């Protein structure tokens, strides 16, 4: 089940930090990360690939995600600055995993824990 980033609050008390601390971030997790292009900012993106995965990049070639890195993409494919622009990011930049949905109000609740 995909949850749109538009419906996930990515910060504050609804984010867990244990998974990122131990480098255990499953594919499809929604994470908050320091922006690789501006470390003063945080970004909220989906983990598309983890270490060892092959990723198709916009120029039509593939790249492998190196050990200790993840590939992040925003759900708004047309308007997202993400790994398609800056490449795989070190797991150390991940601040936590979103665990709670607050919008829309009718869907408030915990987010499913992705499995690899």
Residue 110 maps to a domain? no
**Whether residue 14 has pLDDT greater than 80:** no
Q: What is the pLDDT of residue 12?
A: 47
Cβ atoms within 10 A of the Cβ of 60, count? 6
CATH of the domain at 74: 2.10.109.10
CA separation for the pair 58, 70 (Å, rounded): 17
Answer whether residue 114 is part of any domain: no
Share of the chain above pLDDT 90, in %: 29
More confident residue, 28 or 100: 28
The model's pTM: 0.78
CA distance 80 to 85: 9
pLDDT in tens, 54-73: 999 888 899 999 999 999 99
- Is 115 part of any domain? no
- How many separate domains does the chain show? 1
Question: Does any domain span residue 111?
Answer: no
Residue 75 included in any domain: yes
Encode pLDDT of 77-108 as tens digits: 788 889 998 999 999 899 888 888 777 778 78
Determine, yes or no, domain membership for 96: yes
In a domain, 23, yes or no: yes
**Domain containing residue 20:** 5-103
The Cα 21–Cα 109 span in angstroms is 24
105-115 pLDDT tens trace: 787 888 777 76
Q: Quick check: is 39 in a domain?
A: yes
């Amino acid at each position: 089940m995909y949850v749109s980033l538009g419906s996930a609050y990515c910060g504050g008390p609804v984010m867990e930090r244990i998974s990122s601390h131990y480098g255990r971030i499953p594919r499809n997790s929604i994470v908050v990360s320091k922006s690789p292009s501006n470390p003063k900012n945080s970004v909220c993106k989906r983990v598309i690939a983890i270490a060892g995965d092959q990723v198709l990049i916009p120029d039509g070639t593939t790249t492998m995600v190196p050990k200790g890195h993840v590939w992040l993409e925003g759900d708004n494919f047309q308007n997202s600055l993400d790994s398609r622009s800056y490449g795989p990011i070190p797991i150390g930049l991940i601040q936590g995993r979103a665990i709670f949905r607050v919008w829309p109000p009718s869907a408030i609740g915990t987010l499913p824990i992705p499995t690899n």
